[in-house]
Structure 1
Amino acid sequence: MAQLLSQPMRKESLRRANALVHITVTKRSSGNIFVVSLAVADLVVAIYPYPLVLTSIFRKGWNLGYLHCQISGFLMGISVIGSIFNIAGVAINRYCYICHSLKYDKLYSDKNSLFYVILIWVLTFIAIVPNLFVGSLQYDARIYSCTFSQSVSSTYTIAVVFFHFILPITIVTFCYLRIWILVIQVRRRVKPDNKPKLKPHDFRNFLTMFVVFVLFAVCWAPLNFIGLAVAVNPDTILPRIPEWLFVGSYYMAYFNSCLNAIIYGLLNQNFRREYKRIIISICTAKFFFQESSNDAEKIKSKPSPMLTNNNQVKVDSV
C-alpha cells in the first residue's frame, strides 16, 4: 500500500521538479537575451565606426567621403541609443524578476522577451532616423569622427538629451532603487516570509548590470550635459567650453563601449570561467604551433637517411 501511494507522490515530485527547472531556465534565458542585445549594441560601434575613427586619426583628417561619414555616424548613434535602451530593458527585466517574481513568467515568456528586444531595436532605429533629415551627422575635426553635432538644432539636441539619456536613466534609476530597497529589506530580514527571497546568484547578476548602468551614466553624462548647455544658449555657452573638456567627454563616452566586457569578467563567474578557457586555448594553440614549427625545423636540418646511405655507397665505391 505504501509503495502504491509512493509512486504517485514520486511522479508529482518529479513533475514539480521539472516545472521548477523549466521556470529557472526560462527566467535565465529571457533575462540573458537582453544582455546579448546589449553586447550587440557594443559590437556595432566597434565593427565599423571605430576603425574609421582610427583611420581618420592616422591620416589627420577625414578622407573617406560623405557616404562613409553618414554611415559611421548613423551606426555610432545606433550603438549609443541601443545601449541605453537595452540597459533600460535589462533594468526593467531585473526589476520584474526580483520585485515581481510571481508575475515574471507571464510577462517575460520566450515570445514576449523576443518581442521586447525587437521593440528596443525598432525604437532605436526610429530615434536615430531624424538625424538624417536634420543634418546633424557631421565630421568633427576635434574628435576625428563623424557624429552627432550638438549645435545644428537646439530643439533637436534638447529632445535627444531628454529622450535618449535623461528619460532612460530615470527609468533605470527607479528600477534599481526599488531593487536596492528589496535587497536591504532581505538583508535585514524584514521582508514577509510569503514574499520571494533574493537568491545569491540573482544578487550577483543584478550587481553586474547595476555596475554596467553606473559606468554608462558616468561616461555619457558629461557629453550629454555639455550638449544640453549648448542647446539652451549656443551663442554664449559654445565659445566658453574648453576644447579639452569637449574632447575628453567624447573619448570618455567612447571608452564605455569596451568596459562592459571587463565588468562581466570581473563580476560574473561564468564569464571569468569562459575568459580563462579562451586564454588557455589561445596559449595552448600558440605553444602547439611553436612546438610544431621547432619540430619541422629539426626535421629539415636533420640529414635524410636516404642521402646518408647514398653517400656511404659512393664512398665505398670509390
Structure 2
Amino acid sequence: MWAVLGSRRMQRSATNWLLANLAFADVIIGLFVVPFQFQAALLQRWDLPDFMCSFCPFVQTLSVNVSIFTLTTIAVRRYRAVAKPLKVSRWQARFTIITIWAAGIVLAMPMIITLQVREVPISNSNPHLTKPFCDFVGVPFEVLKWYRRLVVGTQYFLPLVIIIVMYVLLARRLWGAQPPGNAQNQRDATLLRNKKRVIKMLVVVVALFALCWLPLQTYNVLQDIFPKINEYRYINIIWFCCDWLAMSNSVCNPFVYGIYNDNFRRRFRSRCVLCSRLLNMPQPAQSLDTGRVPSSVLYHPGRQSDKRRRSSNLSALAATQITYRTNDVRDNRLSV
C-alpha cells in the first residue's frame, strides 16, 4: 500500500487501488490471524481471551474473502479494459472496494455468532479433566456443513473459475493483437508489452493463491464428507501445515509485485530513498578552512546551490549599483 499509493499519479489507476486493497487484506492476516491461529492449532487448546475465539476466525474469513473478491474484480476489470475500454474513476474503484468489504463481512459474520470457548475432555478415560477449546456452539451439523460449502464455493472455487475464464479470454486478445498504424508502432509495442507483463503478474498471483489455499480448502470439504478425519492422529499437524501454506500466500504477493511490476519497484525505491541516503551518506572531506561550518551545510547539494545562487545575485546587484554610480558620475561631469 505504501509503495503503490504513494503519489497522486499512482492513485489515478483503479487497479492500483485494488492492489492496495489486496495488500491491506494480507497485512490483516499477518497481524490478527497468523500469531493466534497457529498457537491454537499446535496446542489444541484456547488459552487466549474468549472474545478472540470468534474474532480471529472472523478476521481470517473476512481477509480471505476480500483477497479473492479483489483478485476476481481485477480480472474482470482487466478484461473489460481491453474488450470495452472505459475509464474507471477513483470513486468507482472506492465504491467497488467498499462493496467487496461489505460482501466479505456478510459472509464471515456467522463466525462471530457461533464460535465460542467451551470445555472439552482431554481424554475419554477421565471426562472430568477438561481444557478450553474454540468450537462452534449451538449449530446443527447440517447447517454448519452447508455454511462451510458456501464459504469454500464463494471464496475459492467459483472465483477461480471466473478468474481463469477472464484471463484466458484476455490472453487471447492481447497475444493476438497487432498494434495499429505505422508511426505509433514503437509506442504501441511498449504499451502491449507492459500490458502483457501486468497480466503475467496477475496470473502468477492467482496461481499462487490457488495452490496455497488448495490443501486447506480440500480439508474443509473432506471434513464435511468424512467427519471422522478430525479424530485421526496428527490431524492437527496436518491442519497446521495446510493452514500455514494458506497463510504464506500473503507473503508471496509483495515479491511477485516486485518481480513483475516496474512501477511498483520504482515507487518502492523512491519511498526508501531516505533510508538509502542514510546508509550511503558520504564522509565529509578534510579541509583546513571549514571552520565551524557544519558538514551538512558544506556538502548538501541543495544548500550549495542556494549559496551559489545568493552569491550570484549579490554580484549582479553590486554590478548594477556600480553601473548606476558610474553613469551618475558621467552625468555629473557632462553637466559641469
> Common fold, TM-score beyond 0.5?
yes
Alignment partner, residue 264 of structure 2? 271
Using the size of structure 1 for normalisation, the TM-score is: 0.67
Looking at structure 2, the residues matched to 229 and 75 of structure 1 have their Cα atoms a distance apart, in angstroms, of 23
Alignment partner, residue 154 of structure 1? 145
Looking at structure 2, the residues matched to 284 and 201 of structure 1 have their Cα atoms a distance apart, in angstroms, of 30
- What CA RMSD, in Å, does the superposition of the two structures yield over aligned residues? 3.8
Query: Would you say 1:100 and 2:76 are equivalent positions?
Result: no
Alignment partner, residue 254 of structure 1? 247
Looking at structure 2, the residues matched to 205 and 62 of structure 1 have their Cα atoms a distance apart, in angstroms, of 43
Query: Would you say 1:164 and 2:144 are equivalent positions?
Result: no
Query: Would you say 1:50 and 2:34 are equivalent positions?
Result: yes
Looking at structure 2, the residues matched to 137 and 257 of structure 1 have their Cα atoms a distance apart, in angstroms, of 28
Using the size of structure 2 for normalisation, the TM-score is: 0.63
- Does the C-alpha gap of structure 1 residues 26 and 285 become closer, same or farther in structure 2, counting only changes over 3 Å? closer
- Does the C-alpha gap of structure 1 residues 76 and 223 become closer, same or farther in structure 2, counting only changes over 3 Å? same
Query: Would you say 1:88 and 2:72 are equivalent positions?
Result: yes
Given candidates 211, 221, 243, the residue that maps to 2:214 is 221
SS of the equivalent of 1:64 reads: coil
SS of the equivalent of 2:47 reads: coil
When Rg is computed on C-alpha atoms for both structures, the one with the higher figure is 2
Alignment partner, residue 79 of structure 1? 63
Letter in 1 for 2:109: V
Query: Would you say 1:41 and 2:25 are equivalent positions?
Result: yes
Looking at structure 2, the residues matched to 157 and 146 of structure 1 have their Cα atoms a distance apart, in angstroms, of 17
- Does the C-alpha gap of structure 1 residues 62 and 159 become closer, same or farther in structure 2, counting only changes over 3 Å? same
Superposed counterparts of 1:135-214, under 5 Å = 135=115, 153-186=144-177, 189=178, 199-214=192-207
Structure 2: runs of 5+ lacking an equivalent = 1-8, 120-132, 182-187, 285-336
Cα shift readout 1:77-108 (whole Å, capped 9, x = no counterpart): 2111111111111111111112222xx23xx3
Looking at structure 1, the residues matched to 100 and 154 of structure 2 have their Cα atoms a distance apart, in angstroms, of 14
Query: How many aligned residue pairs are there?
Result: 250
How far residue 48 of structure 1 moved from its aligned partner, in angstroms, is: 2.5
Letter in 2 for 1:259: C
Letter in 1 for 2:101: W
Cα shift readout 1:126-170 (whole Å, capped 9, x = no counterpart): 11002223438999xxxxx97999x96222111111122111111
More helix by share: 1
- Does the C-alpha gap of structure 1 residues 169 and 238 become closer, same or farther in structure 2, counting only changes over 3 Å? same
Cα shift readout 1:113-136 (whole Å, capped 9, x = no counterpart): 222111111101111002223438
SS of the equivalent of 1:98 reads: helix
Alignment partner, residue 124 of structure 1? 104
Given candidates 108, 113, 122, the residue that maps to 2:93 is 113
Looking at structure 2, the residues matched to 272 and 148 of structure 1 have their Cα atoms a distance apart, in angstroms, of 44
- Does the C-alpha gap of structure 1 residues 80 and 71 become closer, same or farther in structure 2, counting only changes over 3 Å? same
Looking at structure 1, the residues matched to 244 and 277 of structure 2 have their Cα atoms a distance apart, in angstroms, of 36
Given candidates 45, 54, 58, the residue that maps to 1:70 is 54
What fraction of aligned residue pairs are identical, expressed as a percent? 24
Cα shift readout 1:231-289 (whole Å, capped 9, x = no counterpart): 12323x4456863432221100010011111111111112222344455533543566x
Looking at structure 2, the residues matched to 231 and 257 of structure 1 have their Cα atoms a distance apart, in angstroms, of 27
Looking at structure 1, the residues matched to 192 and 149 of structure 2 have their Cα atoms a distance apart, in angstroms, of 41
- Does the C-alpha gap of structure 1 residues 184 and 46 become closer, same or farther in structure 2, counting only changes over 3 Å? same
